[in-house]
Amino acid sequence: MARNKSLHAANRAKQDEFYTQLPDIEKELKHYRKHFRGKTVYCNCDDPTISNFFHYFHLNFEKLGLKKLITTCYKNRQTEMFSKHDMEAAAGVEYVGNETEPTVFQLNEDGDFRNPECTELLKQADIVVTNPPFSLFREYIAQLVEYGKKFVVIGSMNAITYKEVFPLIKSGRLWLGHGPAGKDMLFDVPEDYARELVETKREGSAYKLVDNIVKGRLGNASWFTNLDHRKRHEDLILYKKYSPDEYPKYDNYDAINVNKTADIPVDFAGPMGVPISFLDKHSPDQFEIVSANDIRANANVPIKPHGLIKDKDGAIDGKPTYVRIVIRNKRIQQ
Ligand SMILES: C[S@@+](CC[C@H](N)C(=O)[O-])C[C@H]1O[C@@H](n2cnc3c(N)ncnc32)[C@H](O)[C@@H]1O
């Protein structure tokens, strides 16, 4: 049991070393250009010698009109990776453009984003952009919210259901990036992990080969942000009409069940449970996210801190549905 646990932790730590590819960063960040003018950007989980987030902002510094770029790097214990880059301690880089050289500075602590040294840098930043360690996503987002920072970061779609994350989505303090969300994303991985993936995993699941190079795969990746973007204000075109037969109510919630986002009825004004992938199409101008706690039909259903319809609480005729977000259409058409 203990061995299983430590294997699991070791695997998670390896997954934390997934390096984002430049085309993925470019594809997403082009939707936020106007937000960056005059701003200080902080990439706080980024070895500047490897990170394409650092490269992106360094290369596009003038085009975006940035004020400053700060990058700090976690002192990784994988000595192989760091000796390759000639780094003995955790370090950071500051860049202010105007054809100057980036200034390298050493950190006294290990570069953990939670260290006071890094939180001091965080205070200077306007926007944080990175792919943080997946295993620390909850704490990572909580810190950004605590310090009132703007951000664009990568995480797994599953994070939507975390009790620390969903309330932020519901209250409009965090939403999905331009995306598309919940798709396959491929990442560069350290050489030893690439070897291990090939030896122990099946191609197509944990990794993919692209031009014979091993790329780590995250099957459910998304961008999470609190910067506004155009797609967030595009209405979803709806065409189906409500019928009680096609949209049954949950046993314990006074809401109808909608199995597919595209099937949201155009003419239904009440609460509807929709799959979490709906969030990729969510416009707050068109829909309101409702608290599942408020629409319980049965007082025995416990109030959940996250406010989602989950597991057997969301059964229909005793048969559980998948996790559901409850929404209401603000612009019904009869
Ligand atoms: C998923 S990788 C992404 C790396 C880089 N941001 C990128 O996108 O290419 C997460 C990185 O966070 C680093 N990391 C792990 N724990 C950390 C912590 N507590 N504070 C800061 N960085 C951490 C890992 O070493 C790893 O390089």
pLDDT: is 84 or 169 the higher one?
Answer: 169
Ligand 1 atom nearest to 52, measured from its CA: 9
Give me the pLDDT at residue 246, please: 98
Give yes or no for residue 112 CB within 6 A of ligand 1.
yes
Least confident of 61-70, 213-222, 304-313, 319-328: 304-313
Q: What is the mean pLDDT of residues 119-145?
A: 97
Q: What is the mean pLDDT of residues 302-330?
A: 90
Least confident of 176-185, 262-271, 275-284, 303-312: 303-312
Position 124 pLDDT exceeds 80:
yes
Q: Whose CA is nearest to atom 15 of ligand 1?
A: 133
pLDDT: is 274 or 183 the higher one?
Answer: 274
**What's the gap in Å between 133 CA and the centre of ligand 1?**
5
pLDDT digits (tens, 9 = 90+) for 202-243: 999 999 999 999 999 998 999 999 999 999 999 999 999 999
Give me the pLDDT at residue 311, please: 74
Position 82 pLDDT exceeds 70:
no
Give yes or no for residue 18 CB within 6 A of ligand 1.
yes
Task: Name beta bridge partners: 208.
Answer: 215
**What's the gap in Å between 178 CA and the centre of ligand 1?**
22
Binned at pLDDT 50, 70 and 90, residue 300 comes out as confident
Give yes or no for residue 28 CB within 6 A of ligand 1.
no
**What's the gap in Å between 282 CA and the centre of ligand 1?**
29
Give yes or no for residue 287 CB within 6 A of ligand 1.
no
Ligand 1 atom nearest to 133, measured from its CA: 10
Q: Report the distance separating Cα 163 and Cα 237, nearest Å.
A: 30
Q: What is the mean pLDDT of residues 43-62?
A: 96
Give yes or no for residue 277 CB within 6 A of ligand 1.
no
Q: Report the distance separating Cα 27 and Cα 35, nearest Å.
A: 16
CA angle 332, 313, 222 (to 5 degrees): 65
pTM of the model: 0.93
pLDDT digits (tens, 9 = 90+) for 149-187: 999 999 999 999 999 999 999 999 999 999 999 889 999
Position 297 pLDDT exceeds 50:
yes
Position 77 pLDDT exceeds 70:
no
Q: Report the distance separating Cα 227 and Cα 173, nearest Å.
A: 9
- The single-letter DSSP state of residue 161 is G
Q: Report the distance separating Cα 189 and Cα 18, nearest Å.
A: 5
pLDDT: is 16 or 126 the higher one?
Answer: 126
Q: Whose CA is nearest to atom 10 of ligand 1?
A: 133
3 state SS of 93: strand
Give me the pLDDT at residue 86, please: 47
Across 157-293, the runs of DSSP E, i.e. the strands, are 175-176, 183-188, 207-210, 213-225, 256-257, 272-274, 287-290
Least confident of 14-18, 178-182, 267-271: 14-18
Give me the pLDDT at residue 10, please: 62
Whether residue 305 has a cis bond before it, omega within 30° of 0 = no
Give yes or no for residue 313 CB within 6 A of ligand 1.
no
What pairing do the DSSP bridges indicate for beta strands 150-156 and 127-130? parallel
Q: What is the mean pLDDT of residues 248-273?
A: 96
**What's the gap in Å between 310 CA and the centre of ligand 1?**
31
Distance, first Cα to last Cα, the chain: 58
Task: Name beta bridge partners: 253.
Answer: 296
Burial tier of 201 (Cβ tally within 10 Å: 0-12, 13-18, 19+): middle
Give yes or no for residue 221 CB within 6 A of ligand 1.
no
Give me the pLDDT at residue 7, please: 56
Give yes or no for residue 45 CB within 6 A of ligand 1.
yes
Q: What is the mean pLDDT of residues 179-196?
A: 92
Binned at pLDDT 50, 70 and 90, residue 250 comes out as very high
Binned at pLDDT 50, 70 and 90, residue 83 comes out as very low
**What's the gap in Å between 135 CA and the centre of ligand 1?**
10
**What's the gap in Å between 136 CA and the centre of ligand 1?**
9
- 276 alpha carbon, distance to own chain's centre: 13
Binned at pLDDT 50, 70 and 90, residue 5 comes out as low
pLDDT: is 91 or 53 the higher one?
Answer: 53
Q: Whose CA is nearest to atom 7 of ligand 1?
A: 19
pLDDT: is 81 or 162 the higher one?
Answer: 162
Q: In the sheet that 325-329 helps form, which strands lie side by side, from edge to edge?
A: 256-257, 272-274, 325-329, 287-290
Give me the pLDDT at residue 156, please: 94
**What's the gap in Å between 111 CA and the centre of ligand 1?**
10
